[in-house]
Structures are given as structure tokens and as C-alpha cells.
Structure 1
């Protein structure tokens, strides 16, 4: 079977690619980043699913109908019933698919804001988005090595133009790679993400929501609306470009409070019982309300800084997140209510009163801010994790302006509009990527099969002549770019270094770290790191093993940065690279 071109290596593109392979199609995946993953790796709360195997084991009485009602209420007047039906109706199957096909742990189920039932799935450790995306990414990269005739991956490739035939059908794409312009042929699935990180003068964000143009964002720098612009240039109709969601809880780095790019505070932090307190130490909102509602209340309250506070019980339930945020300097731990009050600059009695008022709501199930779901009472004699918050922005056929599908063009993920309406429920971002990635893969495979069948029928008795022409032409596989993925190899240790020697290399232009008994010179790797340079620079000159192992699989270094390994710490000999 011929190939389908997938543009974008985030979760939507990866889900489309795996579905296409399941349906028998070949895949060429183009990603403009040096590493795949996109924003999906940053999703930290989980993935929604109704009627899943995990819910059934936990006795949660959820259904696609209940999920549909919650999603429609969240989307309000912009609800697209057909798209919501697909999203919610296929949600359970999507979660089960991830567990069955990729052996993922999604056994923990929580209730986030706007949900009538617990349906947001995650595992016991790590960020769910990273776990889900990396599992698909590594499987696809392994296939690109073991089965290159089926899977080709080209990174640092920027799509520049959709190619169309005389009928207006999309038949391929033009892209640039290593300074050269190339073309590839086949139906196209766009999975390029959103446009909230485009701060140029002609950005879609500035055009459609100029009031948000100066807000910080958690989007990666690659989210510049490439897919939207490609599709519109090819005649696609744009919908809901003005519907940009402002997330209520972005983490503020005290060392860089005005940074344009923020780290997203997991919605699960509020889902496990975290409270939002203003600078007077008081609550002002139902923490489990819809995102846009919470954002509006933050702006309406206006008593900054706003802090998200987790007590001991909530911190233990989501311990890995807290440990990661503390490690990055985005969250602080306080071992008593008195220490917490000092951080606020308030008398201890003020926070005690806030806790007492909240406990009264828990006991009576009547909250002045309308909260309906509680995680137990709070004690002043406890430990707390605290972070400063700021609001942040942030069948799959593409339709033309006449409402008809553009043949050969499909979309999935954030580039596809109309799914979430005015407000997206927490946990539905990963779900939208997986569900509509699979839908686009199904649709593109069916389209490819249909067009091939038509071509064969039209060829009729000329098949022999056609075969002769194909024999005379260069082989199709030879005209396609080769995958940039290579088999994992480990560079041998070159020497031993003391901790003091490693500590000297602690700057951006000279950065060493220790990971699992190996010394790595990551200076050249910094610009390509998917998590940004800062995530590594925090550990420059130090042992980063604990943080690394919280986030990464053992294959990451030999797969992506084998040349970074320069030796071993003198104190650790024969350490195993993980």
C-alpha cells in the first residue's frame, strides 16, 4: 500500500501514524523539531475516558453519555454535537488502546474540574502526556529502523506547501530539509498543533485574539500555526480561530517572573484537593470549576500573587509532580502552617481561619463558592507545597469554504477546530489527540485505498504498459527521504572525572552533568532538548540522575545523545547507562 504523509510528531500525529500502520498504509512522518513529542509531552494531569477498563475495575459508573453532557456544557454555545459524540464515544476505546497496544499504566482515575465522574486516567509515576507520547514515539522510531519500507521519519523538516492536482485534491507536500526543498506524494494528515507561541506581527493569535498576544504561554516554540496556514492556503475553511483558551494555572518561576514561556501547573493539582488562595490568604473560587471560569475569577479577584496550596494528603497523592516542580524551583515545600503563613506575610490566625472555613464546607457539603467535590479537611499542623500561579493561553477531513471536504487532506489535534468549543475540559487535550489521530488515520487509510482502487480500475487493460513505465522510472522508495532515526548505540567511556571537575562545567556554553554513573557533555545538545535548555541547566555541573530517571526511559541517552557521553565519575566505576 502507498504512503500517507503525517506532518507533526506530537501525540496526534503519532496516533495517526500507528493507526495507518495498523490499516496497512506506509507512513512518512515530517516533524520540524529535532525531536518528536510536541506539547503532548507536557500534559501532566492525564487522559479522559468514559467506560474504560480502569473505571470498571474501580466501580466508577461513567458512560459516554455523561461525558458528552459534561463536554457540551463546557463547550457552551459553540458545541459541535457530531465532534463531541466522536470524542466522548471513542474515549473509552482510546484509553484501552493505549493500555493494550503500548502496555501503559493508566490505572489511576481522578475527577477534574467540570467532570461529573472521575474519568481522567494516569499511572503511578511521571507525567501522563510524556509517558503516553514517548511510548508511541519510541515504538514508531523502532519501526523506522526495523521496517524502513513501512516507516520513514524526517526531523527538522518544515512543510512549506500542500500539493494539489487539477481536481483540487491534495496529492502531496513540499518541505525543506537540510537547506533543500523536496516533495513527497500521498494523502496528508496535518497534526502540527496550535499557534499560541507565534509572537510575530502576522501571527494568527495577534489577528484573532490580540488581547492575548502578550500573555505568557506554555506552548513550545514550534506552535506557530504552520498547519493552519498550509491548510488555508490550500483552500481550507478556518473555524474557531478566535477560541483561544486561557488556562488558569501557569507556574511562575520566582527567578524569571516575567518569562514569556511558563510551565503548566497540572490540573490534577487542583483535582487532588489543592486550594487557590489570594494574597490575603483567602479562597475566592471553586477550584474545580471550568478553566475559563477559574481564570475569570482570578482576574476578577485581582489580589496577586495567587498561590496554589497543597496540603500533606494532596501532596502525597501527587507526590511525583510536587517533587518535580520543587526540583525545578517552581514550587516550595513548607513543613508547618506557621512557615506557610510567613511565606504569605500573614499572621498564622488568618490561614487558620481559611482552613476552618473550608473544613466547615467539607463537613456541611455547602461551599460559599459552589464547590461540590472535596478531598477531606485541612489541618494547620501539616506540611504544604505551594506555587505562584498566573493565567496562561494555550472522520477528521479538512473542509473547504464551501463546506465540502478537501480530498486527500486530514487534520488531528490542536490544528483541528470545532472539537472543544469555548472551553476544553481538563484531560481532554490528550484524548482529542489520540481519538482524532486515530480517526484521521482511519480516514486517510480508507481514502488511500479508495484512490488506489480507482486508479487500478481506470488503468484497465493498460496495466502491462503501466508496469513497464514503473520499471523504467526510479524506484518510489529511492525517491523518498530516508529516516533520520538510527539504532541506539552507546559511546564508550573516555575517562574518569571527579565531582569537582564536573562542577566546573556549569554554564550554557560549557555544560556537563552526571546521569546514572556517566558524565555527559550536553553543551551541544542544549538547543535541541525537548524540555528546553533550562531543564538541563538547573543541573549543570551536578548529578541529575534522580530528575532524569523521573522523566526518562533508560534508552533516551543512547538513542538521542550517545556522543554526549564522555566518561564516568571517579567515584562511580562500571555504572550502567540507563
Structure 2
């Protein structure tokens, strides 16, 4: 190559090198804050996933969103503490088939879907329900039951929660309701562990905001409704924080049902239940917030009455009552009216409640007693009469031992008491002799009960001095759960279309737990409430985390 050709090449190379050095110096000389602002303008931080409601559904959604790569999660809770009604759950969580079930005795559990469909009742009757609506419900049930084993694995393997004890609740064809072997009830064990794991996983990407009430959902309507965030107010705000504030991002709505909204939604949809006590704290339902952005509501008149809420002898008129966990009957307990059994205690909640409510109500003077927390007031502030029944829940030593953690708490609260069998009246003794012979297989049960838990009281234990102790408490039906709520699909999207119609999801909005409707139909199986929170909460969190922009 000639010298004439080489010189231009060398000259250009030198210019490139000098330019690179100068560019490098200029770049380094730019102050960091300016560089940061440039970066933020070109690549803005993605919005947080907003979860409304800190029960198990909300916590499951928050954890799943963080796992799925959400930049951050903001969990808004109206109450001063997280947990909602989930933290009170005492019977367990359903799952099938799982490694904790006794497959050697019962075979592989393939009947969860069938039991759930059967429990749903008229909502799935082919003769009265249009096929598209029925298919929609069946799809939701399939998502719940098919993902149930994975939900148990997630709680046990990923979170380290003990769910090794399995019992059979009402409406189930075999044992599939899981709880731990320790003293902590399953709801509290799951909620507290999951919250700790969320804080560990999320770090400063997670913020729990308690005493925050969402007042409306923020919406744009450019191409159909799209939820873009929430407006909320602080219930215990300083003067400088008064008024409403806004938070922008995709929203997962998990605020629960309306079983405690005695003078609002409950009075609107089920006025016939007026005066019944409840397991739910008195608070208004939040369904109107979803309806305002186009969500359709379904099954709002379908309200579950739990057959056994304890009547505390110290405060018999209290409307807010402790649940007598269904697992007590699952482990063998019986229900007695004037010393006699009157129902298969492991029928669905709907059937057992109906059997109790067919009995005469307790007289007004029987319900009198000192006032207590949760005494009912009507909308004008006047005291309401409390409707309740006089039914006894009785556990033998085997059932007491199997449910030891629960029984110990109920004894401490004065809701159960220990009684020697010699102190029982003769009608009750005769009933227990009969029942014991049924448990031993000597005769079929006249009410159709086929599973007896851990009952081991024998007829001979009731004879003579009768020093064997049983546990007895008074129970009554209570408003417990609302099956109605916002129409949603198996992807946990809230819909502005009715069941069976062409799906019209509301973009940016998901839901899980008791706020949703269409899954349970006429009746919810015990143990499926915690399950739906985990299954659909996780789905909602994953979906919300994937939304960008």
C-alpha cells in the first residue's frame, strides 16, 4: 500500500481515538443526579401491583406477584391488622389427592370435583340451568379442585406449614381437609407464615398499608373499562394525611364477603336472615366498588348458614360468635336436641343448618344474659332480638383427643365444658348407647351417617358410676359465608359479563376469595374457603404481575 493511501487511514483512526477519549471524559463528568433523571425519563419504574384486602386471598396474590417479578406490591387493608376472616379459619384446607391422605385405606381421592358439584346444588342442575352458565361454573370448580394438591404442596414445601392431619368434613365423601398437628389453628398458621414469607421475599418491594379504606377504583374508558389504580383514605390519619389519596397500578381485589353487613347487603338480598348471629365482624360489603366499574354480580342471595356457632353462656345475646369448627363433628362429635340426635352431622352445612332451624327456636328468656361484644343493633341503634336455637354439641374422649388443640381453646373460653357421663340425663345416655353401637358397625345409622371420626365411647362406658368425661357446648346456626360476588373466570379476571356469556374481562382488575361469585353455588364445602383463596389468589397475583404499562 502506498504512503499516500496510508496517511488518510492513520488520520481517521487518530480522530476516532481522540473522539472516544473526549466522549468518555464528558460522560464521566456528568453529575450522577442528572444521569439518574435521564435514565428515569427513558425507562420509568413500572407501577406496583395493588392488592386490596389482606386476608389469605390477598396475601396469596401478593406473594405470587412478587414471585412473578412484580417491581413492587402495595397491600391495602381496611383493618388495623392483616388476616381478615382467614386467620380465624379452624377446620382446615382441602386438597386432593395429596401425600397426606390415607390412600391405603380410602384409595386415591378422585371425588373432590364430584363432591363440589353436588354441594353446589341447584346452581348446577342441568334441568334448570342453561348450559353455558353451567359450563362456566364447572370450569371454576375444575380450576379449584385440579389445583388443590398443588396448593397443599405450595403451603407445605415452599412455606413450611404443617398440614399433615387430614379429617373428613360435612359433604365430603372421604377425608381431604388438612390441618397441622400443633396447637395453632390452620388459618392462623397459614396467614402468619405467609405474611412473614412475603416480607422476606419482597423486602422494600413490599409494603403493607393498614387502616386504609379503598373508596373507588380508578378507571380509563378509552377502549372499554380499564382499571388503573385505586383511591383510598387513611382511617386513622393525621391531619396532614386527611382526605383521599391515589395509587396507580393493576389491582387485585380480595376484600371478602358481606356476612357481617347485617343492615346493608345482607338485609338487601336475604332479609329473612335478620336477627341471626354471625361469625363475621360487622362491616359493610365492598361489592359496589366493583359494580361501579362494570363488574357483574351473581348468587348474591346465596348465603351460607353454618350450623354450629357457640352460644357463650356468659354472653348469650352476642351477635358475633365463635365458630364451633366443623372438624369437631368430623372427628366424631354429635348434635343433640333435648338429648336426641336428629341429623347426619356430616351432611352439607346447608342440610345440617336446615335440620336445626326446623326445630323450635329458643324462647326469648332463654337467650337473655349479660350483654357482650357484638350485641346486635338495628339500623336505628335499637337492640335487636337474636334468633338462636338450643342444640348441644357433644364430643366423646376420642373426638376430644383428636381435636385437642381446638378443644383446649374452647374449654379455656368457656364455650365447652367437661361433664362426667353419670351426670348426663337418661335420654342422652340412651342416645349415646345407640350411637356407639352404630359406630361399632352393629347397626346402620338412622340418619345415614357413615364416617365417625375418632369416636370410641362404648355403651359400657355409660353404665355404673360413669367417670368417663365428655365435652359439651351449646351451638346455634350462624351467618358465616356469602357465595355471591363478582363474576370471574378461571384466570381470576373480574368480568363485566354474566355467567355463560361471552367473557368481557375488565382490564387491569382481578379478584379472589369471598368477593367473587359463581364458584360454590348453593353451598360451600367446608375447607374450600382457604383453598379458593390460595388457588385464585396465586393466579390473580401472577396475572397482575405480568401486566405492563
What are the residue-to-residue correspondences of 1:271-282 with 2, within 5 Å? 271-278=330-337, 280-282=338-340
Measured after TM superposition, the shift of residue 60 of structure 1 is: 4.9
The residue number in structure 1 matching 2:28 is: none
1:88 counterpart = 2:88 = no
SS of the residue 1:205 aligns to: helix
SS of the residue 1:55 aligns to: coil
Moved more, 172-181 or 54-63: 54-63
1:40 is aligned, of 65, 82, 86, to 86
1:374 counterpart = 2:456 = no
1:239 counterpart = 2:298 = yes
1:389 is aligned, of 466, 475, 498, to 475
Measured after TM superposition, the shift of residue 436 of structure 1 is: 1.0
1:213 counterpart = 2:274 = yes
- In the alignment of these two chains, the number of paired residues is 432
State how far apart, in whole Å, the 1-side matches of 2:201 and 2:288 are.
31
Divergent runs of 4+, >3 A: 56-60, 141-144
1:157 is aligned, of 212, 220, 226, to 212
CA contact under 8 A between 2:53 and 2:76: conserved in structure 1? yes
1:72 is aligned, of 94, 108, 117, to 117
State how far apart, in whole Å, the 2-side matches of 1:365 and 1:67 are.
28
State how far apart, in whole Å, the 1-side matches of 2:62 and 2:443 are.
47
The residue number in structure 1 matching 2:517 is: 417
State how far apart, in whole Å, the 2-side matches of 1:329 and 1:156 are.
32
SS of the residue 1:68 aligns to: helix
Measured after TM superposition, the shift of residue 113 of structure 1 is: 1.0
Q: Which has the higher contact order (CA 8 A, sep 6+)?
A: 2
Moved more, 356-365 or 205-214: 356-365
Measured after TM superposition, the shift of residue 387 of structure 1 is: 1.0
State how far apart, in whole Å, the 2-side matches of 1:140 and 1:212 are.
39
CA contact under 8 A between 1:358 and 1:377: conserved in structure 2? no
Once the two structures are superposed, what CA deviation does each residue of 1:313-334 show, in whole Å capped at 9, x if it has no partner? 1101111111101111111111
The CA RMSD over aligned residues, in Å, is 1.7
State how far apart, in whole Å, the 1-side matches of 2:227 and 2:102 are.
43
Once the two structures are superposed, what CA deviation does each residue of 1:83-104 show, in whole Å capped at 9, x if it has no partner? 1001100000001100011101
The residue number in structure 1 matching 2:231 is: 174
Measured after TM superposition, the shift of residue 59 of structure 1 is: 6.1
CA contact under 8 A between 1:5 and 1:28: conserved in structure 2? yes
The residue number in structure 1 matching 2:533 is: 433
The residue number in structure 2 matching 1:107 is: 164
1:442 counterpart = 2:542 = yes
The residue number in structure 2 matching 1:523 is: none
State how far apart, in whole Å, the 2-side matches of 1:182 and 1:2 are.
16
CA contact under 8 A between 1:284 and 1:301: conserved in structure 2? no
SS of the residue 2:101 aligns to: helix
State how far apart, in whole Å, the 1-side matches of 2:221 and 2:116 are.
41
Once the two structures are superposed, what CA deviation does each residue of 1:38-97 show, in whole Å capped at 9, x if it has no partner? 00011101100001232268765343x410000000001214101100110000000110
2:351 is aligned, of 271, 282, 293, to 293
State how far apart, in whole Å, the 2-side matches of 1:221 and 1:141 are.
29
State how far apart, in whole Å, the 2-side matches of 1:186 and 1:52 are.
37
1:251 is aligned, of 300, 303, 310, to 310
1:225 counterpart = 2:285 = yes
Measured after TM superposition, the shift of residue 153 of structure 1 is: 1.4
The residue number in structure 2 matching 1:407 is: 507
2:393 is aligned, of 308, 328, 348, to 308
The residue number in structure 2 matching 1:486 is: none
CA contact under 8 A between 2:397 and 2:456: conserved in structure 1? no
State how far apart, in whole Å, the 2-side matches of 1:107 and 1:445 are.
32
State how far apart, in whole Å, the 1-side matches of 2:108 and 2:473 are.
32
1:364 is aligned, of 442, 447, 468, to 442
Measured after TM superposition, the shift of residue 187 of structure 1 is: 1.0
The residue number in structure 1 matching 2:74 is: 28
SS of the residue 2:85 aligns to: helix
Q: What is the TM-score with the length of structure 1 in the denominator? A: 0.72
CA contact under 8 A between 1:62 and 1:119: conserved in structure 2? no
Once the two structures are superposed, what CA deviation does each residue of 1:256-310 show, in whole Å capped at 9, x if it has no partner? 11111011110000000000001x2000000110001000110113375200000
CA contact under 8 A between 1:286 and 1:294: conserved in structure 2? yes
1:61 counterpart = 2:107 = yes
Measured after TM superposition, the shift of residue 110 of structure 1 is: 0.7
SS of the residue 1:133 aligns to: helix
